């Protein structure tokens, strides 16, 4: 064997080929690369900071989206009709947090938006991220909750219906099937709420019977909370009525690494609104706004979900990998993740990691 071939053989042994990461089986349809309009609602408090982070990253990536921006604030009586019309036209919206008034009979605009567009499914992705230390490992939970009725819908007298229970169950099992998830757990309080939660469980059981390859079980919400904080790795996809889902999603997010890094969205048959997955409770924190230190990572990951929803998988993968690499490196972190970086420093770090 010649010296050059020997050297090449040795080089291949010492320096392995780079792992293939792109999807070789993806073939876009003609016209799929056309830029898509997305309705953008910066919102209140830290909302403009984190939505601006998304705008910067999308521009740096040359992502095929452009934003139609509208100012909506939580103290408005209702969402302007032009905003609703924009979302109906574009089908997709990216949204910062809206401050929710407490008491006084004032309706939350977040709830108004979900009802107006029939965004019946809320999804929060709660999983461990490499480089971010947590008490529990192997946490990979997706919380899917019914979004339009029950106590948390703003209509406190309204109970759960068969129609809404069945369609959220269908969505949860379809999600599990399409994403190769192995188990769906229904969270309930049917031992006390026998009619409402009993109907919810009945719907879940009927849909579960159509998916024999997916394990189905049920857990009372009290025990669910205890199991989440003691052994969260036992859960996979969790389906819940409206009120419990808000509590379960925030608990799971905190366990997996914090609300500042958990993406999510709300989806219906026609429209989708992407936002930070779990409530950070910091929409109105003036100090965070003044110091410009809000964590943009959750909304950046939500925007990666949005890109995948828009059928731009390569852009979604690049953004998601950049965010994960920034977390893994650990050099730029906001206060909620144990660092002292500003929002802009984290954004710049993500842009620098985009390939």
pLDDT per 10-residue tile (average), the chain, 355 residues: 44 42 76 94 94 98 98 92 98 93 69 93 96 95 91 54 95 98 96 89 97 97 96 98 91 94 96 88 75 95 97 95 97 95 98 95
Query: Do residues 273 and 337 both lie within one domain?
Result: yes
- pTM over cut 0.85: yes
Full residue range of the structural domain in which residue 329 is found: 35-100+108-118+269-354
Among 225, 256, 287, give the residue marking a domain's end.
256
Taking 3-state DSSP, the helix, strand and coil percentages for the chain, each rounded to the nearest 5, stand at 45, 15, 40
Sign, CA torsion 317/320/322/325 = negative
Query: Do residues 155 and 246 both lie within one domain?
Result: yes
**Residues forming a β-bridge with 94:** 40, 274
CATH of the domain at 169: 3.40.50.2300
According to the model, what pLDDT value does residue 135 have? 93
Structure tokens at 233: 């790795």
Kindly list the distances between the CA atom of residue 353 and the CA atoms of 18, 74, 79, 255, 338, in Å, as whole numbers in the listed order: 17, 35, 37, 27, 21
According to the model, what pLDDT value does residue 287 have? 85
Q: Which residue is associated with the tokens 């089986």?
A: 25
Query: Do residues 139 and 231 both lie within one domain?
Result: yes
Alpha helices in 62-181 (DSSP H): 81-90, 109-116, 162-178
Asked if the structure places residue 1 within a domain, the reply is no
Query: Do residues 243 and 306 both lie within one domain?
Result: no
Q: Which residue is associated with the tokens 């972190």?
A: 333
Asked if the structure places residue 276 within a domain, the reply is yes
The set of residues, in sequence order, having a beta carbon less than 8 Å from that of 332 and lying 6+ positions away, is: 326, 339, 341, 345, 346, 348, 349
Asked if the structure places residue 312 within a domain, the reply is yes
Count of other CB atoms within 10 angstroms of residue 320: 18
Query: Do residues 350 and 289 both lie within one domain?
Result: yes
According to the model, what pLDDT value does residue 195 have? 87
Query: Do residues 152 and 203 both lie within one domain?
Result: yes
The set of residues, in sequence order, having a beta carbon less than 8 Å from that of 3 and lying 6+ positions away, is: none
Backbone angles phi, psi at 319, to 5 degrees: -65, -45
Query: Do residues 250 and 150 both lie within one domain?
Result: yes
Indicate the number of domains in the chain: 2
Among 256, 284, 305, give the residue marking a domain's end.
256
Residue 109 to residue 115: CA distance in whole angstroms: 10
Among 227, 256, 285, give the residue marking a domain's end.
256
Count of other CB atoms within 10 angstroms of residue 158: 14
Query: Do residues 331 and 226 both lie within one domain?
Result: no
Query: Do residues 148 and 199 both lie within one domain?
Result: yes
Query: Do residues 316 and 295 both lie within one domain?
Result: yes
What is the total residue count of the chain?
A: 355
Q: Judge contact between 195 and 159, C-beta under 8 A.
A: yes
Closest by CA position to 242, among listed 307, 295, 182, 193: 193
Asked if the structure places residue 40 within a domain, the reply is yes
DSSP structural state of residue 206: H
């Amino acid at each position: 064997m010649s010296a050059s071939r020997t050297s090449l053989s040795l080089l291949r042994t010492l320096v392995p080929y780079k792992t293939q990461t792109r999807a070789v089986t993806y073939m876009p349809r003609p016209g799929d690369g056309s830029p898509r309009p997305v309705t953008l609602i910066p919102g209140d408090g830290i909302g403009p900071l984190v939505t601006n982070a998304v705008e910067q990253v999308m521009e740096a990536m040359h992502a095929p989206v452009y934003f139609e921006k509208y100012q909506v604030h939580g103290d408005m009586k209702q969402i302007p009709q032009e905003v609703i019309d924009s979302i109906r036209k574009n089908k997709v919206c990216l949204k910062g947090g809206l401050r929710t008034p407490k008491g006084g009979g004032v309706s939350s605009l977040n709830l108004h938006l979900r009802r107006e567009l029939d965004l019946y499914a809320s999804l929060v992705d709660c999983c461990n991220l490499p480089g971010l230390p947590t008490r529990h490992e192997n946490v990979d939970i997706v919380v899917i909750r019914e979004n339009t009725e029950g106590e948390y819908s703003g209509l406190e007298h309204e109970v759960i219906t068969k129609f809404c229970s069945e369609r959220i169950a269908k969505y949860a099992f379809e999600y599990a099937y399409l994403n190769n998830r192995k188990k769906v757990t229904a969270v309930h309080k049917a031992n006390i709420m026998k009619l409402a939660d009993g109907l919810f469980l009945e719907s879940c059981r009927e849909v579960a019977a159509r998916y024999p390859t997916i394990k189905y079980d049920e857990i009372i919400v009290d025990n669910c909370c205890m199991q989440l904080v003691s052994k969260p790795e036992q859960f996979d996809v969790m389906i819940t009525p409206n009120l419990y889902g808000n509590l379960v999603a925030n608990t799971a997010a905190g366990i997996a690494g914090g609300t500042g890094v958990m993406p999510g969205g709300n989806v219906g048959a026609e429209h989708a609104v992407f936002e930070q997955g779990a409530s950070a409770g910091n929409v109105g924190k003036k100090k965070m706004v003044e110091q410009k230190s809000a964590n943009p990572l959750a909304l950046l990951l939500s925007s990666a979900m949005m890109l995948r929803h828009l059928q731009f998988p390569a852009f979604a993968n690049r953004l998601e990998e950049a965010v994960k690499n920034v977390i893994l490196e650990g050099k730029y972190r906001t206060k909620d993740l144990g660092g002292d970086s500003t929002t802009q420093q984290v954004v710049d770090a993500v842009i620098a990691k985009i390939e």
